Amino acid sequence: MCTKTKYETIVGLEVHVQLSTKTKAYCRDKNKYGESPNSCISPVTLGYPGTLPKINSEVINRAIKLGIALNCKISKYNLYSRKNYFYPDLPKGYQITQDKTPICTGGYIEIPNKKINITRIHMEEDAGKSIHDIDPKNSLVDYNRAGVPLLEIVSEPEIRSTQEAYSYLKEIRKIVRYIGVSDGNMEEGSLRCDANISVRPYGSNVLRNRVEVKNINSFKNVMRAIELEVARQIKCYENNIDVNQETRNYNASDNSTTVLRSKEDAHDYRYFTEPDIPPVVISQKTIDEIKVTMPILPKQKFIFYTQKLKLSEYDSKILSNEKLFSEFFDKIIKHTKNYKSAANIMLGVVKSYLNKKSIQVNDLPISAINIAKLSDMLSEGKINKTVIENSIFPLMIKTMKSPQEIAVENKLFQIDDSCQIENLIDKAFKKFPQKVIDFNNGNSNLIGLFMGEIMRDSNGKLNPKKINEILIKKLKNEIK
Ligand code: MN
C-alpha cells in the first residue's frame, strides 16, 4: 500500500492580513508599502521611552467588518496585551496584540463543499523588516512596516489537503479585497501565512504533534510547504521516528523546511495587559452601523446570479469574484433582461479587453447602459458575437457611441436574407465539391468546414443559426 494514502493531512492556518489603512495601528505614521526606508517613522514607531500608543479607530472598524463578513461573533470588550520578545526589527521589544480577548471569535470560511471554522481573529501590529542581502557586512533595518496594523485569522485544524488550504487562502483574499480592508497582495506581504501541520492514520481522531511552518509568502508555496512537511512526517512515522513539536522555516529558494526552534526552547512571551491602552468597548450600535455599510458579499451575489438570473455556476462565480466587476454587471442588468447575453459579453470581449489593457472595469470607456443595449442586440439576433468582437466593441471604445449607432453607420446588422445565404452556400459547394459527396457518405463533421467558409465569406454578418438551418437542408438536397 502506498504510505501516502494511509495518512490523513491535518492543517490549521494562521493568516496575517495587513490592513490598508492610511496610518499605523497605534500612531499617525503613514502606512504605505514601497516608501523609501525609514521615512514613515516617528518616536512612537521607534518605541522611544515616554511615547504612548493611541488606538486607530479605523483598525477596529475593519476588524469588525471582517468579523461580520466571516460570520464571527464580535467581542464587545477588548483588551490589548504585550507579547514580549527581542528582535532587531521590533524596536519596543514587544508587540502590542490581543491575547485573551480577540475581537472576533467563531465564524467560518466557505470553500468548495466545506466550511472551515475560524477560532479567532485578533488585532495586532507588524514588525519592521531586517534586510540581510544588500550590505555584504551588515544587516539593515527598515522600520516603515513597524506598527502597521494586522488582523490575524486563526483557523481550526480542519483543512485536510493542500487544495483545501489553497482554496481557503483564496477565499480570504477575495473577501478582504471585497470589503476593502486590505489589498490582499501576497507578493507585497499583505497576506502572510503560517501553517500548523500534522498527519495521522485514517480513522484515528487523535491529533499528533504538529509542526508550525513559518514564512510562507505565496499561494503556490503554501501548497508546497504543506506537501513537504506531510511527506517528511509520514517518513518519520513509517520509520518509527517521533515527529517533534517544533517550528520550521520554509525556504522558497530551494523548497525546503529547516528547524527554527524546538518545543524545548519555545518562546515564553510573558504576555501581560498593555498598560498604555485602556480597554476598548464596542457598542452594538457601532456594529449595526458597520453592518449597514457592508457590500453584498460574493457568496450572496453567486446565489442571486444562479437562482434569480439563472446563469451558470461557472459564469456566476467569475461574475461575483471581484467587487468592481460584479457591481458593473449589476448596473447592466438594471437595463436589460437578457442576462445570459450580458454575462457572455462581460466574460468574453469585456474581460479580455480589461486583461489586455491591465485595467479595472471602472476604467472601461463604455457605460453599463451601452453594454445592456449591446446585450439586447445580441440576444435578439440583430448582431452576432464575431461582429461584436471584431467591429462593434472596438468602435464603442474608440467612438463612445451607442452600439445601435455604430451598427447602423457601419452596416453591421446581421443578415437574415435566405437568398444571400443560399448564394454563399452554393459558392462554398462549388469550391469543395468532394466534401459535399463526403458529407452525404456520412462525414457529418464537414458542417463545420462549410460554416467557417460561409461566415468568412460574409464577414461574419450572416446569422449563423440561419446559415446552419439552410446549409443542412441544402446538403441533404431538401432544397436546390
Ligand atoms: Mn501574529
Last residue of a domain, one of 389, 409, 429: 409
Cα(181) to ligand 1 centroid in Å equals 17
pLDDT by residue (tens digit) across 35-70? 999 999 999 999 999 999 999 999 999 999 999 999
Residues 323 and 284 in one domain: no
User: Does 231 share its domain with 311?
Assistant: no
- On whether both 228 and 103 belong to a single domain, the answer is yes
Residue 125 and residue 31 share a domain: yes
Cα of 34 from ligand 1 centre, angstroms = 22
**480 part of a folded domain:** no
Distance 132 CA to ligand 1 centre (A): 22
Cα–ligand 1 centroid distance for 96 (angstroms): 10
- C-alpha distances (whole Å) from 148 to each of 5, 23, 56, 123, 190 are 43, 8, 11, 11, 10
Report how many domains make up the chain: 3
pLDDT at 466 over 90: no
Q: What is the mean pLDDT of residues 209-228?
A: 92
Q: Say if 455 falls within a structural domain.
A: yes
pLDDT digits (tens, 9 = 90+) for 307-362: 999 999 999 999 999 999 999 999 999 999 999 999 999 999 999 999 999 999 99
Say how far apart CA 192 and CA 218 lie, in whole Å.
8
User: How far is ligand 1, taken at its centre, from the CA of residue 441, in Å?
Assistant: 72
* Distance in Å, CA 15 to ligand 1 centroid: 8
322 Cα–ligand 1 center, Å: 27
Do residues 149 and 251 both lie within one domain? yes
CA of 259 to the centre of ligand 1 (A): 19
Distance 200 CA to ligand 1 centre (A): 27
Q: What is the value of pTM for the model shown?
A: 0.83
Q: Would residue 448 count as lying in a domain? A: yes
Cell of residue 290, nine digits: 458597520
Q: How many angstroms separate the alpha carbon of residue 124 from the centre of ligand 1?
A: 7
Residue at 120 is within a domain: yes
Distance 16 CA to ligand 1 centre (A): 7
The sign one gets for the Cα dihedral 167, 168, 171, 177 is: negative
**pLDDT score of 187:** 85
- What is the pLDDT confidence band of residue 415, given thresholds at 50, 70 and 90? confident
The last residue of one of the domains, among 289, 316, 338, is 289
Per-residue model confidence as pLDDT tens digits over 264-321: 666 789 999 999 999 999 999 999 999 999 999 999 999 999 999 999 999 999 999 9
* Domain endpoint, select from 289, 317, 352: 289
Q: What CATH code is carried by the domain that includes residue 455?
A: 1.10.10.410
Q: How far, in Å, is the centroid of ligand 1 from the Cα of 119?
A: 14
Taking a C-beta distance cutoff of 8 angstroms, is the pair 191, 185 a contact? yes
Strand partners, 115: 110
Q: Rounded to whole angstroms, what are the CA distances from 432 to 438, 449, 451, 460?
A: 10, 10, 13, 20
Determine, yes or no, domain membership for 356: yes
Distance of CA 175 from the midpoint of ligand 1 (Å)? 20
For residue 463, being part of any structural domain is answered with yes
Q: How far is the CA of 425 from the centre of ligand 1 (A)?
A: 70
Residues 43 and 157 in one domain: yes
Q: Please check whether residues 357 and 405 belong to one and the same domain.
A: yes
The Å distance, Cα 208 to ligand 1 centre, comes to 23
245 and 96 in a common domain = yes
The answer to whether residue 64 sits within a structural domain is yes
CA of 421 to the centre of ligand 1 (A): 69
Same domain, 383 and 459: no
Same domain, 246 and 302: no
For residue 192, how far is its CA from the centre of ligand 1 (angstroms)? 10
Domain identity same for 24 and 67: yes
Distance 79 CA to ligand 1 centre (A): 16
Q: Residues 27, 95: one domain?
A: yes
Q: Which tens digits make up the pLDDT trace of 100-146?
A: 999 999 999 999 999 999 999 999 999 999 999 999 999 999 999 99
Ligand 1 centroid vs 194 CA: distance in angstroms?
9
Domain that holds residue 377: 296-409
